[in-house]
């Protein structure tokens, strides 16, 4: 009797103490991922004077107006000359304009960025027999002593006999698509110091020259933008630099950017080529200073690498390269997402972010406010916007546009299709625009937004809501949505919720107490973008519901916390890295920001699901066909412990989907490290496999030797806390693998 009591008591205690609930996770504080962001809390945004360290080493940063020295030039390349747009040779037909059935010749597969493949060997029945065909190691992963900033995010492209891809640090390689054997590799020597927020290389661009005859080197080229700001062109057949492009195959993209340090600006997305002009954008590290390097977008001749135009928001009428010590206007909105080219309209669709100094808008110019957090359709002949569509006005929530926009034909009421653009946002509002005019095709409502809380800054009175499309967001948070393993952490989160300003999606930044950003900068649709099946009219979107918790702090408090921008000589990585706490030097305030979580258990404060996947029928009234949580709890748990549960809790996810004529959707993205095939019509998961690392990348599919393959970079993601690897994993049916 006594013994059984004892056993029951012990077992019960063990059960009660065991981590029982699954949850989502983000990177821990300290090395890698967001720095230890302690949100000061109500009334603590300032620091008493006596606690402020003497500011002996104050580094003001370059003035936005004074002439300044050029930034890092990684390969010591000479300046590039300019040519007039009229001298850009007419473009040859590109593979991505009308891809071969078995190919995937561009990041989004085709010029429209549909991520749709016509392959049918894999269907809901055959996919169940899918097996790993080969694994390729890129060689890029954190070495001992290096902070984990890795998330390769790579999607290979496939043209003919080659699978072309890049490593997280920009080495380019061609693989045999059937065996994964390396055919050539071009190392570019990108240094660890050049890694900005993330070591990522989303992909490379395949370009066919109209100047170099077929059969000669560099008739077909691979173009790539690097983390250390080079535009590189190599021969697709051999990997040799293209001598006629730039300076022996390279162009220094730091030209004209003014003062900078490695890791401040970087390219992570494949540059599109539109009517012979290769268009480059770049990310600028968030939260550093108001006068960070420019977010300029530039066009270069894809044949010669020569400069054609610049779109500099601060100098809208000057499309030339700055000369001497002049530079592009600093602090302007940058664009880090993958752009989409439209040869027919002669436009490139540029998804923009907000101006530098992300959470304070009081110092932004009207020109910046007109183009931030928008889709900007630039004329590739002139570099001038033809139209701009803004998705968030005066953005202080970091709702920068992460998704590549997708082109489609929208059936009109009279049957004639309108050339349309699907514009996903972090808000989960998906806008559908006429790509000739930028006007919404589906209804958009202007709804009132809350006023500001901070002196010297004001909020836009209204914000646009795309009411014609299903919203990819959860209802607004309530206290009872707070979650946890037990009533104890739930109570903690309830207090945290009640201690903050929360007035819906557009709650204004505040100094007196924290504010909640929901969906926030990890919410809605991000760089994974959407996939669209033009035959069924099904649009596939995976999205996040993970709020952020932030507070503005005074400069004194920021100094006491040791926040300094990356270009400060005393800067220490981790003390104020991007995406976490940021000094926002040059504005009156700094930012303290972290996920809305319990910092002890690392569990998000609100109830799951945190990640979802939705299929929308675009041809019949934009109705939701199916929607369910994405990601199981198998690799997640309190304190980062895996629970092993197959419960589809819906985890945060990063990376997109592929849709095929076989009726399948391939997607990894979630933090459960699975890749899965989903039946396009029912939403049912019909196959899944465990990846060696996090599948935070867009998968792709192609055919080789008559068989269909599915490739996913299992590179992991530092912020999502998934295992980092350098492995590209490719799956096929056993029939394809046997030889």
Catalytic residues: 398
- For residues 360 and 342, the answer to whether their CB atoms sit within 8 Å is no
**Closer residue to another protein in complex, CB, 398/648:** 648
Among the residue ranges 48-56, 227-235, 493-501, 589-597, the one whose residues contact another protein (CB under 8 A): 493-501
Q: How far is the CB of 608 from another protein (least distance, A)?
A: 7
**Closer residue to another protein in complex, CB, 15/90:** 15
Among the residue ranges 6-14, 30-38, 280-288, 567-575, the one whose residues contact another protein (CB under 8 A): 6-14
How far is it, in rounded angstroms, from Cα 132 to Cα 584?
A: 46
43 binds another protein (CB under 8 A): no
491 binds another protein (CB under 8 A): yes
Q: How far is the CB of 490 from another protein (least distance, A)?
A: 4
Q: How far is the CB of 203 from another protein (least distance, A)?
A: 37
How far is it, in rounded angstroms, from Cα 380 to Cα 348?
A: 7
484 binds another protein (CB under 8 A): yes
Among 159, 337, 477, 485, binds another protein (CB under 8 A): 485
Among the residue ranges 7-15, 63-71, 219-227, 426-434, the one whose residues contact another protein (CB under 8 A): 7-15
Q: Is 199 helix (H, G, I), strand (E, B) or coil?
A: strand
Q: How far is the CB of 9 from another protein (least distance, A)?
A: 5
Among the residue ranges 78-86, 172-180, 489-497, 526-534, the one whose residues contact another protein (CB under 8 A): 489-497
12 binds another protein (CB under 8 A): yes
Q: Bridge-partner residues for 590, per DSSP?
A: 553
Measured in whole angstroms, how far is the alpha carbon of residue 400 from the centre of its chain? 9
Query: Dihedral sign, CA of 171, 26, 570, 324?
Result: positive
360 binds another protein (CB under 8 A): no
- For residues 199 and 152, the answer to whether their CB atoms sit within 8 Å is yes
440 binds another protein (CB under 8 A): no
Among the residue ranges 83-91, 164-172, 295-303, 480-488, the one whose residues contact another protein (CB under 8 A): 480-488
Q: How many residues bind another protein (CB under 8 A)?
A: 30
How far is it, in rounded angstroms, from Cα 267 to Cα 95?
A: 23
- For residues 23 and 638, the answer to whether their CB atoms sit within 8 Å is yes
Residues 6+ apart with CB under 8 A from 336: 268, 269, 281, 282, 283, 284, 353, 400, 402
5 binds another protein (CB under 8 A): yes
Residues 6+ apart with CB under 8 A from 624: 470, 614, 615, 616, 617
Among 382, 486, 554, 627, binds another protein (CB under 8 A): 486
Beta strands 347-351 and 340-342 are antiparallel
**Closer residue to another protein in complex, CB, 346/599:** 599
Among the residue ranges 10-18, 167-175, 365-373, 657-665, the one whose residues contact another protein (CB under 8 A): 10-18
> Maximum Cα–Cα distance for the chain, whole Å?
94
* DSSP per-residue letters across 254-268: TTT--S--TTSEE--
**Closer residue to another protein in complex, CB, 181/480:** 480
Instruction: Report the length, in residues, of the chain.
Output: 739
**Closer residue to another protein in complex, CB, 102/672:** 672
Structure tokens at 694: 């996090």
Among 326, 607, 619, 628, binds another protein (CB under 8 A): 607
738 binds another protein (CB under 8 A): no
Among the residue ranges 91-99, 223-231, 281-289, 491-499, the one whose residues contact another protein (CB under 8 A): 491-499
How far is it, in rounded angstroms, from Cα 539 to Cα 421?
A: 12
**Closer residue to another protein in complex, CB, 7/467:** 7
Structure tokens at 733: 């049916």
Among 225, 608, 655, 715, binds another protein (CB under 8 A): 608
User: Which of 616-641 are b and which e, b meaning 16 or more Cβ less than 10 Å from the residue's Cβ?
Assistant: bbbeeebeebbbebbbbbbbbbbebb
DSSP 472: -
Beta strands 589-595 and 548-554 are antiparallel
What's the half-sphere exposure (Cβ side, CA atoms, 13 Å) at 258?
Answer: 22
Structure tokens at 488: 């104890």
**H helix or E strand, kind and range, residue 374:** strand 374-379
Among 309, 483, 687, 731, binds another protein (CB under 8 A): 483
**Burial tier of 413 (Cβ tally within 10 Å: 0-12, 13-18, 19+):** exposed
Per-residue contact string for residues 131-170; x = within reach of another protein by CB under 8 A: ----------------------------------------
Among the residue ranges 50-58, 107-115, 352-360, 475-483, the one whose residues contact another protein (CB under 8 A): 475-483
9 binds another protein (CB under 8 A): yes
- For residues 37 and 593, the answer to whether their CB atoms sit within 8 Å is yes
Q: How far is the CB of 609 from another protein (least distance, A)?
A: 9
- For residues 588 and 360, the answer to whether their CB atoms sit within 8 Å is yes
**Closer residue to another protein in complex, CB, 467/600:** 600
- For residues 173 and 167, the answer to whether their CB atoms sit within 8 Å is yes
8 binds another protein (CB under 8 A): yes
Q: How far is the CB of 89 from another protein (least distance, A)?
A: 60
Q: How far is the CB of 33 from another protein (least distance, A)?
A: 25
How far is it, in rounded angstroms, from Cα 697 to Cα 715?
A: 8
DSSP 480: G
**Closer residue to another protein in complex, CB, 578/612:** 612
- For residues 338 and 202, the answer to whether their CB atoms sit within 8 Å is yes
How far is it, in rounded angstroms, from Cα 335 to Cα 297?
A: 8
Query: Dihedral sign, CA of 449, 450, 454, 456?
Result: positive
21 binds another protein (CB under 8 A): yes
Q: How far is the CB of 148 from another protein (least distance, A)?
A: 31
**Closer residue to another protein in complex, CB, 360/497:** 497
488 binds another protein (CB under 8 A): yes
Q: Where in 495-554 is the site for another protein (CB under 8 A)?
A: 495, 497-499
2 binds another protein (CB under 8 A): yes
489 binds another protein (CB under 8 A): yes
Among the residue ranges 96-104, 305-313, 488-496, 665-673, the one whose residues contact another protein (CB under 8 A): 488-496
Structure tokens at 466: 């795309």
600 binds another protein (CB under 8 A): no
Structure tokens at 457: 């800054």
**Closer residue to another protein in complex, CB, 498/623:** 498
User: Which of 377-393 are b and which e, b meaning 16 or more Cβ less than 10 Å from the residue's Cβ?
Assistant: bbbbbebebbbbbbbbb
**Closer residue to another protein in complex, CB, 454/482:** 482
- For residues 359 and 591, the answer to whether their CB atoms sit within 8 Å is yes
**Closer residue to another protein in complex, CB, 207/596:** 596
Instruction: Kindly list the residues in this chain that would bind another protein in the complex (CB under 8 A).
Output: 2, 5-6, 8-9, 12-13, 15-16, 20-21, 479-480, 483-492, 494-495, 497-499, 607-608
């Amino acid at each position: 009797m006594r013994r059984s009591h004892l056993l029951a008591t012990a077992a019960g205690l063990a059960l009660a103490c065991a981590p029982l609930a699954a949850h989502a996770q983000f990177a821990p504080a300290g090395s890698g991922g967001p720095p230890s962001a302690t949100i000061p809390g109500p009334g603590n945004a300032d620091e008493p004077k006596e606690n402020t360290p003497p500011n002996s080493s104050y580094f003001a940063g370059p003035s936005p107006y004074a002439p300044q020295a050029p930034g890092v030039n990684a390969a010591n390349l000479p300046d590039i000359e300019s040519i007039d747009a009229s001298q850009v040779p007419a473009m040859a037909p590109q593979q991505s304009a009308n891809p071969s059935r078995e190919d995937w010749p561009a990041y989004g597969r085709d010029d429209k960025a549909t991520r749709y493949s016509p392959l049918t060997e894999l269907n809901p029945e055959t996919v169940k027999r899918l097996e790993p065909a080969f694994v390729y190691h890129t060689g890029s992963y954190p070495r001992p002593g290096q902070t984990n900033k890795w998330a390769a995010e790579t999607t290979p492209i496939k043209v003919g006999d080659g699978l072309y891809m890049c490593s997280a640090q920009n080495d380019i390689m061609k693989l045999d698509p059937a065996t994964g054997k390396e055919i050539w590799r071009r190392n570019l020597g990108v240094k660890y110091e050049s890694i900005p927020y993330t070591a990522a290389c989303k992909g490379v661009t395949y370009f066919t020259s109209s100047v170099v005859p077929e059969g000669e080197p560099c008739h077909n080229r691979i173009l790539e933008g690097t983390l250390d700001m080079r535009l590189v062109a190599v021969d697709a057949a051999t990997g040799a630099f293209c001598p006629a492009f730039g300076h022996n195959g390279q162009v220094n993209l730091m030209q004209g950017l003014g003062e900078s340090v490695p890791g401040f600006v970087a390219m992570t997305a494949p540059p599109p080529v539109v009517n012979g002009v290769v268009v480059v954008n770049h990310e600028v590290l968030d939260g550093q200073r108001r006068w960070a390097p420019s977010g300029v977008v530039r066009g270069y001749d894809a044949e010669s690498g020569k400069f054609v135009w610049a779109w500099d928001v601060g100098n809208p009428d000057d499309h030339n390269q700055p000369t001497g010590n002049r530079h592009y206007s600093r602090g302007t909105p940058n664009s880090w997402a993958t752009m989409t080219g439209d040869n027919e309209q002669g436009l490139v669709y540029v998804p923009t972010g907000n101006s530098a100094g992300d959470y304070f808008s009081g110092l932004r110019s009207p020109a910046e406010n007109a183009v931030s957090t928008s889709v900007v359709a630039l004329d590739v002949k002139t570099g001038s916007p033809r139209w701009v569509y803004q998705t968030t006005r005066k953005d202080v929530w970091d709702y920068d546009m992460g998704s590549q926009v997708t082109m489609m034909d929208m059936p009109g009421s009279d049957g004639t299709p309108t050339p349309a653009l699907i514009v996903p946002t972090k808000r989960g509002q998906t806008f559908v625009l006429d790509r000739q005019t930028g006007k919404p095709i589906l209804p958009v409502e202007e709804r009132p937004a809350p006023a500001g809380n901070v002196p010297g800054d004001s909020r836009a009175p209204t914000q646009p809501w795309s009411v014609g499309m299903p919203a990819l967001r959860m209802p607004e948070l309530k206290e009872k949505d707070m979650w946890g393993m037990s009533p104890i952490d739930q109570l903690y989160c309830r207090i945290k919720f009640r201690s903050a300003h929360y007035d819906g999606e557009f709650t204004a930044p505040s100094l007196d107490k924290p504010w909640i950003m929901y969906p926030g900068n990890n919410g809605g649709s991000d760089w994974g973008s959407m996939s669209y099946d033009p035959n069924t009219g099904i649009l596939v979107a995976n999205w996040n519901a993970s709020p952020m918790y932030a507070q503005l702090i005074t400069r004194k408090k920021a100094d006491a916390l040791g926040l300094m921008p990356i270009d400060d000589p005393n800067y220490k990585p981790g003390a104020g890295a991007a995406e976490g706490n940021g000094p926002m030097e040059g504005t009156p305030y700094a930012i303290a920001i972290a996920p809305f979580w319990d910092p002890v258990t690392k569990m998000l404060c609100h109830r799951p699901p945190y990640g979802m996947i939705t299929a929308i029928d675009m041809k019949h009234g934009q109705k939701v066909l199916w929607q369910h949580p994405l990601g199981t709890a198998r690799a997640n748990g309190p304190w980062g412990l895996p629970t092993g549960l197959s419960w589809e809790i819906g985890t945060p996810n990063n990376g997109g989907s592929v849709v095929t004529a076989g009726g399948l959707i391939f997607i990894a993205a979630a933090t459960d490290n699975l890749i899965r095939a989903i039946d396009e019509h029912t939403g049912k998961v019909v196959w899944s496999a465990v990846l060696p690392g996090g599948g935070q990348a867009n998968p792709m599919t192609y055919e080789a030797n008559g068989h269909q393959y599915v490739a996913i970079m299992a590179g992991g993601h530092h912020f999502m806390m998934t295992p980092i690897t350098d492995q590209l994993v490719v799956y096929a049916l056993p029939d394809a693998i046997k030889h």
